[in-house]
Amino acid sequence: MKKYLDKTLSPLERAEALTDEMTVEEQASQLRYDAPAIERLGIPAYNWWNETLHGLARSGTATVFPQAIGLAAMFDAEQVCSVAEIIAKEARAKYNAYIKYGDHDIYKGLTMWSPNINIFRDPRWGRGHETYGEDPYLTAQLGKAYVKGLQGDGEVMAAAACAKHFAVHSGPEELRHEFDANVNAKDLEETYLPAFRALVEDAKVEGVMGAYNRVNGEPSCASDFLMSKLKEWGFDGYFVSDCWAIRDFHENHHVTANSVESAAMALKAGCDVNCGCTYVNLLAALEDGLITKEDIRTACVHLMRTRIRLGMFDDKTEYDDIPYTVVACKEHKAAALTCAEKSLVLLKNNGILPLDESKLNTIAVIGPNADSIAALEGNYCGTSDGYVTFLRGITERFTGRVLYSQGCHLYKDRISGQALPGDRYAEAIAAAKNSDAVILCLGLDASVEGEEGDTGNEFSSGDKKDLRLPESQRRLIQLVQGTGKPTIIVCAAGSSINAETDADALIHAWYPGSEGGRALANIIFGDVSPSGKLPVTFYKDSDLLPPFTDYSMQGRTYRYTTDNILYPFGYGLTYSKVKCTDIKYSDTVAEVTAENVGDTDTDEVIQLYIKDYSEHAVPTHSLCGFIRVHLKAGETQTFSISLDKNAFTSVDDNGERKVYSQRFTLYAGVCQPDELSEALSDSKCVSVEITL
């Protein structure tokens, strides 16, 4: 038996044995993302590139969950873990089928380049909806849960997660291939690196992907500073470049003279696999003396170790018998529906919601996102075998008549190219006037906010220009509300949108996945109480934000600003009223008593925030614990919530994290402990003073 097939050896020992049977040319070939087969060793071709941001992506049919920012709005690590377990199961089912039929193409493997744990520091960033929001602790907790669910705890990994984009990466998209993110030591340790550290140290994430930009002058995919952090944290997986990022070294960053130097620079720094084509120059770099054979061998060992950890060279794994029929099965769709229901955030309600069907004969469903599949999907998505749009969900749920009008184009001034501007406004007004209530479905989709280079992105290479809805939709709001009909606005978007109007209710739906329309209907008609919370701050005006290219955290996110806030981080209403009435603290655990004083059963999210009185602490307070709970009307329960292990630390200007204060205030509530949050939520936080 070949040594690399001996399962009594460690994955590293097996990987070294396998790598040492290859020639240096064969080893170099395996460092491409589209690694060719080595037939003499029985190694099949393997494409490292696969995506599972919120479901198995780009590989045909799969369960489509809410976009990552929607999953974050659940504030539910256990649910995120369950989502990742489902994704891994579907990925294995499809992988089993693909290899059976000899298909080793892109998006068919088991190395998933997810999750995106960058910090959503600026609401204009087009890719922010791929993340878990603006808070490092929330991002770390959900990211760890995702990795745990995806990789599993079996004899071999179910699938390999990958933390991206390392690091300090959150726009602007238009400049990402040449941009140098200048960031100080405090912001690095306090904001940009904690989630990556948590996924490496605590979750043992198998992969890390670099970013396109430079960080303080060094290309992220070949940064001595960033690579030293991975070593410090004990990372023992594989490192992959973002796609064609190494080419940027010589073409855009100008830190090397040519592709040979770029390949050498990346490999020497510790980039094991190149998503792109620059590593075809590795043998030339070897010939020029820029790298050694051992550099190539080391990277190849890392990659073979990951494939061995996935069981790719074993005769049988525990996942081989997962049937193809689990893909998009009934149970998985039910989970997608649950996630969508938990993710929708009720921002405003004057009492119109939930709708009383007994008083309604006709509802008008109006807007460019009413019957839009794109508004359900977000980006990096799979293909559902059945989408429930907002229109379909409401039509199926409501027993009366539904009148539909698209109302306007998502962002253009007309829908029909041969028509005059505003060609659907009259129809929208007619539908509204002939209804008892209007559900106005607005927002964006991934053609408007997304990744630079995506086909169809119309605005600023994927980034938003401001926080307003497109002009076509702002005009539609005016006309519909001018009819005087009760109006509920549903905004599908992955980021902060200022859709503030005189509407009777406002729901932020994110990109809620294939079951989004059914979830919306269940909430609108009161079958389910809304319970999502904002994982990002909603601002009033983008002109009052710091410059997009400024990576300082000053003036950004709830931890560093109290100005220009429309809706705060952590905010979201339910159909009931939950109050935290008591808090006790002992040995890193808070005991919080909460009571549902309303008349509706509901989920709620109890949030812990800590105020550190050190001179090095953030100006406001920091999330340090949370738990999603369910309380029946009139019910009181006490919940144990573990605090962040770093809750009592802060970071000085040199980037040193430690305990600098002896005095803290710990808050518990269904929102932040600030005046605006408590006023909007109509709920006060309780607190306890802690002295270390």
Give the model confidence (pLDDT) of 238-253 as tens digits.
999 999 999 999 999 9
Please tell me the predicted confidence (pLDDT) of residue 28. 98
| pLDDT band for position 393 (cuts 50, 70, 90) | very high
Residue by residue, what is the 3-state secondary structure of 429-490? HHHHHCCCEEEEEEECCCCCCCCCCCCCCCCHHHCCCCCECCHHHHHHHHHHHCCCCCEEEE
Residue from 395, 442, 336 nearest 83 by CA: 336
**Helix axis angle, 390-397 to 516-524, nearest 10°:** 50
Please tell me the predicted confidence (pLDDT) of residue 291. 98
Read off the pLDDT of each residue in 590-604 and give the average, rounded to a whole number: 98
Please tell me the predicted confidence (pLDDT) of residue 457. 63
Read off the pLDDT of each residue in 548-577 and give the average, rounded to a whole number: 97
Please tell me the predicted confidence (pLDDT) of residue 116. 98
Read off the pLDDT of each residue in 34-52 and give the average, rounded to a whole number: 97
Please tell me the predicted confidence (pLDDT) of residue 402. 98
Please tell me the predicted confidence (pLDDT) of residue 454. 67
CA separation (Å) from 6 to 10, 22, 518? 9, 17, 50
Q: Is the pLDDT confidence value at 609 over 90?
A: yes
| pLDDT band for position 453 (cuts 50, 70, 90) | confident
Predicted TM-score of the model (pTM): 0.98
How far apart are the C-alpha atoms of 687 and 517, rounded to whole Å? 39
Q: Is the pLDDT confidence value at 578 over 90?
A: yes
Q: What DSSP element (H or E) covers 396? A: helix 390-397
Mind listing the pLDDT tens digit for each residue in 54-69? 999 999 999 999 999 9
Mind listing the pLDDT tens digit for each residue in 147-164? 999 999 999 999 999 999
| pLDDT band for position 458 (cuts 50, 70, 90) | low
How far apart are the C-alpha atoms of 596 and 568, rounded to whole Å? 22
Please tell me the predicted confidence (pLDDT) of residue 2. 86
CA separation (Å) from 350 to 346, 487, 504, 524, 601? 11, 11, 6, 13, 19
Percent of the chain with pLDDT over 90: 97
Please tell me the predicted confidence (pLDDT) of residue 461. 75
Please tell me the predicted confidence (pLDDT) of residue 452. 87
Is 406 strand, coil or helix? coil
DSSP state of 353: P
Please tell me the predicted confidence (pLDDT) of residue 456. 56
What average pLDDT does the structure give for the chain?
97
| pLDDT band for position 455 (cuts 50, 70, 90) | low
CA dihedral 278, 281, 286, 289 (to 10 degrees): -80
Please tell me the predicted confidence (pLDDT) of residue 4. 87
Write down the number of H helices and E strands in the chain: 20, 25
Residue entry with tokens 């960080």: 215
With vertex at residue 302, the alpha carbon angle to CA 59 and CA 51, rounded to the nearest 5 degrees, is: 15
How far apart are the C-alpha atoms of 165 and 119, rounded to whole Å? 10
Residue from 95, 115, 87, 106 nearest 32 by CA: 106
Dmax (CA) of the chain: 80
Mind listing the pLDDT tens digit for each residue in 511-559? 999 999 999 999 999 999 999 999 999 999 999 999 999 999 999 999 9
Please tell me the predicted confidence (pLDDT) of residue 685. 98
Cβ-count burial 484-520 (b if 16+ within 10 Å, e if not): ebbbbbbbbbbbbbbbebebbbbbbbbbbbbbbbbbb
> What amino acid positions are annotated as catalytic residues?
242, 449
Mind listing the pLDDT tens digit for each residue in 97-144? 999 999 999 999 999 999 999 999 999 999 999 999 999 999 999 999
How far apart are the C-alpha atoms of 295 and 283, rounded to whole Å? 11
